[in-house]
Chains A and B, each alone.
Chain A
């Protein structure tokens, strides 16, 4: 029961939050926070447990978003089938890339995913016949059981349920045998290998899993916004996601949520300082890595625990 306390707190916050949201604008911001939170959860499993960075997660998000746009409009797929199709395509791509890279030592994944992300963005911009090119394209509405989702308030509950489920799933994953192997890997790769953990396979699995997550959220967010542009697969979007993980705390599940909330709110606060966004994100990354390398949530948790 105690273990689930955090989950109950999150559920309570999500239930009560609509009472505090005055209008659609705020709903929209909270929805964006929740979308980012789920993508960051997936990315955090990779960064926190496998000790690898993906700088191409926006690319996976982009594949999901464009699958939600292209498959229903041009091929008549049901939006849910499109979402699954996009996610499977993303997972296959991630698996194809992961195997050879994780066999290598060093940090090739960061660069390989960066390259992959850039290739995806280039394809989205250039294949205008399918993707609408740099102008983007409209996404057909997502209908469930003959009932079309419409408006920020309905979408809020979809994303809230989604976030709650993802947090629950990630926590269970971390506590499962699979998660134990991952944590062993995080502690000492060599030791994990010695007790029989297939390091490359586990790292690849978590990478594929987090890419799958990102793609699903890409589809959902495209359905919600109703429009996609190649900017969703932008390099800066990938950086934002990595920053969220770092700020919230690597290998911390609730840290992912906190990081996503804080850094989604940040650009709203910076809107008056045009051009300084890049500098701010860069400075936050450096300062956190130097002074608070474990991130907000784990650091605070450790402090509370000590003072008790």
Chain B
């Protein structure tokens, strides 16, 4: 399995506080990698460094190709839409950021695949929480990325919207797109992830499939494992 991104020995400090402390992380082709860990564990800083948003104080990030930005899609925790723009116009703007000029019918078809066809001409800010998340994900898929980062994609969504977003992630994985997502929902992580990396204290505390982790640590559930490993570290 090809390694898409390899981070070695990442360190990030804010003043005297070390948030990421010599962290190693690899992201492989075709996998659904869940990054979990308590708030303040270093997940966001790690992702920011991997995505080139922050410079590591030490360590190295290698990408599988020269121009990774063209092949990576990113959905942040917030749903960043242009104020006053419809779903279709937001899609058009973000497509343009990747040098694409899709026609309206292509955009509508793309929105339809994310079950947003009827909402295409609605102000993005007026969409429901689930629709906004799906639109944010749809925007990251416009340029057919090989790898997609989703930061807490189901946070603050109702059960129906969660199910819709999970379905979208599953269909992405089925189509061969590598997915990296963060979540605090262990059931969701168990259902979606082919590999899990638990970050705690700025380091990878455990990594593997859910079954490997449960067997290694003798836990009955991911939630139990999470609490046990993060308790020890705190």
Q: Do A and B come from one complex?
A: no
B-side interface residues toward A, CB under 8 Å? none
